[in-house]
Structure 1
Amino acid sequence: MLNLHNAEFLRSAVKESDFPSDRLPQVVFAGKSNVGKSSVINKLLGRKNFARVSAQPGKTVHINYFVIDRKMYLVDLPGYGYARVSKAEQQRWGALMETYFALGLLTVGIQIVDIRHKPTRDDVTMADWFRASDKPWIVVANKLDKIKKSQLEGNLAEIRQTLLLPAEVPVIPFSAEKGIGRDEVLEHIYGYIGKEGSEQ
């Protein structure tokens, strides 16, 4: 088991040579700019302000690397889908994603969506990146505390249908505020990391 409290920021990557190329597993987090990605990461690690919660989403285009217990990288992809970002910035984001995914570095992907809404076109594009990587991925449906119980099943079905998720990709209802879903997400991460270790 990993000591999730033993987590440190490694670097911000803006080009291929910045990506760590050792054999440590890379758990990749992706989500649109206002979906609460930093809050999800903080909740999973049991830390309050580890991943910065930005008041101005979409401001930076780089990949943040964190080392967890010196055994795994937590890779925080730049938030996507922020309307005010310039075309040039969007192109930089696309090029950086293309480079990262082309190198086949990720071990498992965590795509964060908003459980209250139908996934956006950008969410669908991100799901396509993960699907094309041929690596396992999990969809975390955040903001569970903001919907009624009666909406849960229908909203999860809509997410699965819109993102065209294969049967093996779980959609996990999650609340970064209350910690609901945390254990289930961690269980999947540990399972995939362990599997990769045994295959090497």
Structure 2
Amino acid sequence: MTQRYRHTHFLTSANALHQLPPEAGREVAFAGRSNAGKSSALNTLTAQRALARTSKTPGRTQLINLFEVEPGVRLVDLPGYGYAKVPTAVRLHWQQVLSRYLETRQVLVGLFLLMDIRHPFNPLDRQMLEWAGHRGLATHVLLTKSDKLKRGAAMAALQSVQRTLASELPHASVQLFSSHDRTGVDEAHARLDVWFGYAG
């Protein structure tokens, strides 16, 4: 466990881009379909049980939530997308906010895209990857809930996603991840260290 992430704390929430902190430092964002495990991943990577609120109700996170690792270093929990029961106006608002955040936020240095290993590459996942690719943003896919599959099936799913990314979205890399049994935590920490400039 990288000790520095244990000190991460809630900084602020934003409903629009103008409410975000000034463009200074570095940010890594976490995006994914509602209930893909974003909040659980943030809690696991910071070794905190309740840094980010988790819920069995998809679509609960309706704000951009920012967490500070240290001054100028932030983890960003983006609203989950793709939950049908969210009102249309809210869904359209967040689609616009997410696209503008990914395309214009200058301090954004990396994106973790979380996909349930059992249901990867829904259309909104692909859209998120395309936005990131258009921006040239470093993107790393976490195939969450890998503990739900047996090892062989999980590795087969990983290899399938690797092939798809290599042919369609070569700017993105991928790994297995599980908040339940901590699969992939060290690998995800290593990626964060690179993006935040801690590595080397």
Deviation at 1:62, TM superposition (A): 1.9
Flag structure 2 segments of 5+ consecutive residues without an equivalent. Answer: none
TM-score, scaled to structure 1: 0.89
Letter in 1 for 2:83: Y
Moved over 6 A (4+): none
1:175 counterpart (171, 174, 178) = 178
CA-to-aligned-CA distance 1:33-74 (integer Å, 9 cap, x gap): 111111111100011111100232213432111111224111
Letter in 1 for 2:150: K
Quick one: percent identity of the two aligned structures? 33
Letter in 2 for 1:156: L
CA contact (8 A) 1:61 1:92 kept: no
Counterpart residue number, 1:107? 109
Deviation at 1:112, TM superposition (A): 0.5
CA contact (8 A) 1:119 1:162 kept: no
Deviation at 1:161, TM superposition (A): 4.6
1:124 counterpart (123, 126, 140) = 126
2:194 counterpart (170, 180, 191) = 191
The residue correspondences of 1:3-42 to structure 2 (distance < 5 A) are 3-42=4-43
Report the Cα distance in structure 1 between the residues aligned to 2:97 and 2:120, rounded to whole angstroms. Answer: 26
Q: Secondary structure at the match of 1:92?
A: helix
The residue correspondences of 1:5-84 to structure 2 (distance < 5 A) are 5-84=6-85
How many residue pairs end up in the alignment?
Answer: 196
| Pairing 1:140–2:142 present | yes
Deviation at 1:141, TM superposition (A): 0.6
Flag structure 1 segments of 5+ consecutive residues without an equivalent. Answer: none
CA contact (8 A) 2:114 2:141 kept: yes
Q: CA RMSD in A?
A: 2.1
TM-score, scaled to structure 2: 0.89
